[in-house]
Amino acid sequence: MPTRHDATTTLYLSAPEMIRLIRRKGLAACITGIAERIEREFLRWEAFDKSPRIASHSKLGVIELMPIADAARFAFKYVNGHPLNPARGLPTVMAFGLLADVDTGAPRLLSELTLTTAIRTAAMSALAARRLARPGSRRMALIGNGAQSEFQALAFRDLLGIRELRLFDTDASASARLAANLEGQGLRIDICRSTADAVRGADIVTTATADKANATILRPEMIEPGMHLNAIGGDCPGKTELHRGVLEAASVFVEFEPQSRIEGEIQQMPADFAVTEFWQVLAGRHPGRRSDGEVTVFDSVGFALEDFAALAFMAETAAELGLGEVLELVPQAEDPKNLFGLLGLVQPAQPAASLSS
């Protein structure tokens, strides 16, 4: 970390700098490191001040703020979701985030989070699947082959041992791009003609579609005993991917229940529909999967604690690699109470006019 980075300055990780960080650290190491950090933070679940994210919805998308804090650090993420953005040359999801000291409120890290969110989402998916999928799972169906898909594929390869991917997207070019990007990565890839074709015989099914709609990507007749469903596309009110019958026949796990009730797959279920927060599985308070034939669902909408973990990991990695730019994001004055004085608008005092007779 730059030597000038102290309590009065902020470390900035731009998108180009984040690309350098990921290349130097290695994508696999970043996915693994963030998964480990998420698990560590989830095991401190009760130490965090948690709330559902704050959302501003429009016809074309959503913009959200995601805050969280423990006794030492506060974090937030700004993130959008606009499915039509690629036609405008923009990503569907764009994000940045901040870490600050709780004791002083001083911002310590300002970072891009678009790339980092893709990595942390994949890390969270794989972490959940390690506890909820059948041991020995090797085949995954990936429905929706957009910007998240490569990260999901590699996380499941490295953290679960997935060796076969079955792909489907309504945009055939997206599946072709994904297959090309994953060439030589040790994965057998089949591009399928339909969702039903892709999920047939899969151990794990990941749904990552972008449309802001109450869709039914997966229907009950597609689900086989023992499947684990990693539903990451339903992440705002009015946006789902699973038929409610799929949820009724499965054990459902969520990140933060108050948020998932608003934004997740379970928004379509009654208020008394039983779900389990995933931290309870990590903490040994819930067994997770109970049998090989059980169908499990991870209803993932993304939660601020995952971003807290990702920001902390990236901050430590930047320090390790000497990356990042030091910003004076906050004005620095010799007298903190004299903010006006920084503007240099105070005129020197004029001597009083002399009195003459």
pLDDT for the residue 215: 82
| 181-195: average pLDDT | 98
Please tell me what DSSP assigns to residue 214. Answer: E
pLDDT for the residue 239: 83
How far is it, in rounded angstroms, from Cα 356 to Cα 354? 6
Q: Name the token pair of 264.
A: 């997740």
For the stretch 58-68, pLDDT in tens is 989 889 999 99
Please tell me what DSSP assigns to residue 265. Answer: G
Cβ contact 109:94 at 8 Å: no
Cβ contact 138:45 at 8 Å: no
Of 169, 235, 299, 307, catalytic: 235
Residue 354 has pLDDT above 60, yes or no: no
Residue 124 has pLDDT above 60, yes or no: yes
pLDDT band at 2 (very low <50, low <70, confident <90, very high): very low
Quick one: CATH architecture of 132-303? 3-Layer(aba) Sandwich (3.40)
pLDDT for the residue 233: 82
Provide the CATH topology of domain 10-115+306-331: ornithine cyclodeaminase, domain 1 (3.30.1780)
Domain spans, the chain: 10-115+306-331, 132-303
Q: Name the token pair of 220.
A: 């009950």
For the stretch 73-93, pLDDT in tens is 999 999 998 989 999 999 988
Other beta carbons within 10 angstroms of residue 348's beta carbon come to 5
Quickly list H helices, the chain.
Answer: 15-25, 27-42, 114-132, 149-160, 172-181, 195-199, 244-248, 257-263, 278-282, 304-321
Residue 3 has pLDDT above 70, yes or no: no
For the stretch 275-310, pLDDT in tens is 999 999 999 999 999 999 999 999 999 999 999 999
How far is it, in rounded angstroms, from Cα 232 to Cα 302? 8
For the stretch 148-183, pLDDT in tens is 999 999 999 999 999 999 999 999 999 999 999 999
- First and final C-alpha spacing in the chain: 69
| 215-225: average pLDDT | 95
Residue 235 annotated in active site: yes
